[in-house]
Amino acid sequence: MAELHLAGRPKHRRRSLTRPERAAAPAPDLLGRDFTAAAPNLKWCGDLTEIPNDEGPLYLASTEDLFSRRLLGFALGAHHDAELAIASIRMAAAVRGGSVTGVIFHSDRGSEGEYTADAFVRACARLGITQSMGRVGSALDNAAAESFFSTLEHELLSRHHFTTREQARRTVAGWIDGWYNRTRRHSTAHMLSPYDYEQTATVQVVPPRPGPTGPAGGAPPGHRLRSGTTRQLRRNGPPRGTSKGPHQHVSTLSGEPQESPGEAAGSPLR
């Protein structure tokens, strides 16, 4: 490497900024570090991170479906606050057709109290979302969201230098929509992209089985993956042409074609 004048990329450690919001009551941890989901719209997770650039502060709020690891919602803005987190979950709800009652949204408690703020709590209540939170300062309690940010840092941020917020916003939004959701293969999604995995692994309604319900995040009564879906994914892979059509998808809940606000134009910069 020395002869070729090559050097390894240094690893940047993320400093934990999570501090407890004393005035707010945190939600209980409903996941217990179980970041699997048997169907879409059972468990989401999210977090906020800073996007480095020369112009000034820029933050990214994420909302990810733990079934496929698809980033359903994201928002970019100059303020690290509850409004940014709210914009992210609202986008996720819009991508899913607007009806997301019963979803568990897992997060940390927020370094600035964004997830315990009254405005965010009310937004979740209006959407029918149940909040779940890990412990203060424990990255492992929200490992799936942290993993996404680690991928973003390694594959995009470490390789680009942004001079303006707008340049950073467009690049990050394009990477999420064009690469991470629709092209990049994910081990949790049987080595398909999150978008292709959702199109292939359909869910059918079946009579609920008798007996007690499983832990949070299991398939709810009346829902399970279609028999043989896993075998189909391993043998055949995604259907032909899945990722080459227009940027539309069929909402798991509504069944109507929906265009993702972020996939169409990226999230607005506030």
Q: How far apart are CA 244 and CA 246, in angstroms?
A: 7
DSSP 8-state class, residue 37: -
Answer whether 109's CB lies under 8 Å from 102's CB.
no
| One-letter amino acid for residue 269 of the chain | L
pLDDT at 10: 55
Compute mean pLDDT per 10 residues along the chain, 270 residues long, and list them.
67 46 74 93 96 96 96 96 96 95 92 88 96 83 93 96 97 96 93 93 51 48 44 42 38 39 43
Residue 141 CB partners (closer than 8 Å, separation 6+) = 29, 33, 108, 134, 135
Longest C-alpha distance within the chain, in Å? 68
Domains of the chain: 43-185 (3.30.420.10)
Vertex 68, ends 62 and 74: CA angle to 5°?
15
Instruction: Measure the N-to-C terminal CA separation of the chain; round to a whole number of Å.
Output: 44
pLDDT at 141: 86
Answer whether 100's CB lies under 8 Å from 92's CB.
yes
Residue 31 CB partners (closer than 8 Å, separation 6+) = 43, 104, 106, 132, 216, 217
pLDDT at 111: 74
Dihedral angle at the C-alpha atoms of 128, 219, 258, 48, nearest 10 degrees?
60
pLDDT at 258: 42
pLDDT at 5: 67
Answer whether 263's CB lies under 8 Å from 177's CB.
yes
pLDDT at 240: 44
Dig out the tokens for 167 from the structure: 């340049």
pLDDT at 210: 54
